[in-house]
Amino acid sequence: MIRLIKPDIAFSDVEDDFKTILESGILTRGSYVSRFAKAMCDYTGAEYCHFATSATTALSMCLKVIGIKPGDKVLVSDFSFPASVNVIEDLYAHPVFVDVDSDTFNMRPDDLEKKITKDTRAVIFVDLAGNPGGIHEIKSILEKHGVPLIEDAACAIGSSENNIKCGNIADLSCFSFHPRKLLTTGEGGAILTNNVEYKEILDVKLAHGAVFNKGKFDFIDYGYNYRLPELQAAMGIKQLMKLDEIISIRQKIAERYAEELGKFGFVEQKIAKNVIHNIQSVVFKVPDTIKRDELVRYLKERDIETTIGTYCLSDCTYYRQKYNNIQPVAKKLFDTTITLPCFAGLDLEPVIENIKNFFERG
C-alpha cells in the first residue's frame, strides 16, 4: 500500500530523549514541554505558545478565551474538516458558513463582508491544506469591524504569507500535531498568540484554573487539563528542527504532480506568489470528464491511498439539517477535489502511472 502520508520521524531521532525523560520520572510539565514551546515561538515569531491535546481542543480554548457564549455568531470557512465548526456548535454558539474561493480553497473576503453583522463575535479562517492565502486580507476586514480572528492553522506549520509565518498573523492560531501533519507528536495541538491578555487567560485555563500564590495553589477560575506530555514534546522538538527540509521535499513532490497531472486536466490548488505553502496536502480539482470517487476507488484497488480534498461543512448531514445553508463553491470542491500521497521517500511513479491508466481505460 502506498500510504497517503507517513510521519517523518524515527525512534532513533528520539531514543536518547525518551531515555532521559523516563529515567527522570518527569513525564509531564517538564523541561521538554518548555523547550518545545520556546522553539515554536522562535520558529513562528509568535510571542506565546500553549499546548493542547489536539487542534480541536486548541480551537475550543480560543473561543472560550474570546468569551464566546450561547447564541453568539461565529463565521467559519465552509471547506474544512468538521472540527472547525464542531467547536462552535459545542458552545451552543451559531456557526455562519462563509464560502470559499474556487482556486485557493480559502475563505472569500467578499462573502465574509456580506455576512459580518453586529452580532459577529469571531471568525475562524482555515488554512486549507496548509495554504494561508488571503489571511491578511481577512484580518484587515476584521480589524475594521473589531472582530477577533482565529486561524485554524491545523495544517499550516511552516507556511507563511507576506513573509510572516502562520502562528504570527491572527489574534489566536491553532496547530495540529496529528499523525497526518508535517510535524506530529502522535496527537496534540498548540495555541499561539501575541496578545498578552489572551496569554494570561490561557495560563490559568490550561492549569485547571489555578494560580500559584504565596507558596500554594489557588483556583481562581474553572479550567482544563489539555497537557502535552514530555515524550510528545521531545518528538515535536526533533521534527521542528528539520521542518524546513521536510517542506522542501514535499514542495518538489507537489511540483512533479502538477507537471504530470496537468496533462490530464487536473487543476492544482492556487498558491499566491506572496505565500510559502508547506504542502501539508497535495489537493487537485479533478477534470470535469471524470468522477472523483471512481478515481479514488480505482487507486485503492491498486493499493494507492487517496481521499477527498476535505468536507463542505454546510453539507454535512447534521449542519445541513439544522441550518440548511449549503455554500455552492465549498460543495463543488467537496465533490471534485482529491488528496494524493505526499511524504519523504514516496515513489511517485506508480501513482502517476495508475492515474494515467485510469484515463486510458476510459
pLDDT tens, 84-115? 999 999 999 999 999 999 999 999 999 999 99
- pLDDT at residue number 214: 83
User: CA-to-CA distance for 38 and 35, rounded, in angstroms?
Assistant: 5
- The grid coordinates listed for 183 are 510535524
Q: Mean pLDDT across the stretch 22-29?
A: 96
> What per-residue string of b and e applies to 26-43 under the rule 16 or more CB within 10 Å gives b?
eeeebebbeebbebbbeb
- Which of the listed residues 226, 241, 256 is the one where a domain comes to its end? 241
Note whether 229 and 294 are same-domain residues: no
Question: In this prediction, what percent of the chain has a pLDDT beyond 90?
Answer: 98
pTM confidence score: 0.97
Residue range 111-126, pLDDT digits in tens: 999 999 999 999 999 9
Are residues 255 and 298 both part of a single domain? Answer: yes
What would the grid cell of residue 38 be? 520556546
Q: Which region holds residue 154: left if phi is over 0, alpha if psi is between -120 and 50, else beta?
A: alpha
Tally Cβ neighbours within 10 Å of residue 242.
14
SS3 content of the chain, % helix, strand, coil (to 5): 45, 20, 40
pLDDT score for 213: 84
Q: Which domain holds residue 249?
A: 243-360
Digit-coded pLDDT (tens) for 206-262: 999 999 888 898 999 999 999 999 999 999 999 999 999 999 999 999 999 999 999
State how far Cα 87 lies from the chain centre: 14
Q: What is the mean pLDDT of residues 297-304?
A: 98
The mean of the pLDDT values for the chain is 97
Q: Which of 185, 123, 196 is nearest to 157 (CA)?
A: 185
Note whether 221 and 338 are same-domain residues. Answer: no
Q: What is the pLDDT of residues 166-210, one digit of tens each?
A: 999 999 999 999 999 999 999 999 999 999 999 999 999 999 999
Same domain, 356 and 294: yes
Cell of 123: 471568525
Query: Is 5 part of a structural domain of the chain?
Result: no
pLDDT reported for residue 240: 97
Same domain? 101 vs 181: yes
Q: In this structure, is residue 3 part of a structural domain?
A: no
- Block residue for cell numbers 461543512: 313
pLDDT, position 212:
87
The DSSP H or E segment spanning 149 is strand 149-152
Can you say whether residue 267 is alpha, beta or left, with left for phi > 0 and alpha for psi between -120 and 50 degrees?
beta
361 has pLDDT over 90: no
Residues whose CB is less than 8 angstroms from the CB of residue 5 and which lie 6 or more positions away in sequence, other chains included: 179, 180, 341, 342, 343
CB contact at 8 A, 160 and 131: no
Q: What percent of the chain clears pLDDT 70, i.e. is strictly above it?
A: 100
Report, as an integer, the average pLDDT of 290-317. 98
- Asked whether the beta carbons of 192 and 185 are under 8 A apart, the reply is no
Q: What is the mean pLDDT of residues 59-68?
A: 98
**CA 186 to CA 234: how far, in whole Å?**
11
Q: Is the pLDDT of residue 362 over 80?
A: no
In a domain, 6, yes or no: no
* pLDDT for the residue numbered 347: 95
- 72 and 19 share one domain: yes
* Beta strand residue intervals within the chain, DSSP E: 48-52, 73-77, 79-80, 94-98, 120-126, 149-152, 160-161, 164-165, 172-176, 189-193, 210-213, 216-219, 267-268, 275-276, 282-285, 307-308, 311-312, 337-340
CATH number, domain at 271? 3.90.1150.10
pLDDT tens digits for range 267-281: 999 999 999 999 999
pLDDT computed for residue 358 by the predictor: 96
Looking at residue 228, the DSSP 8-state letter turns out to be P
Say if residue 68 is in the same domain as residue 211. Answer: yes
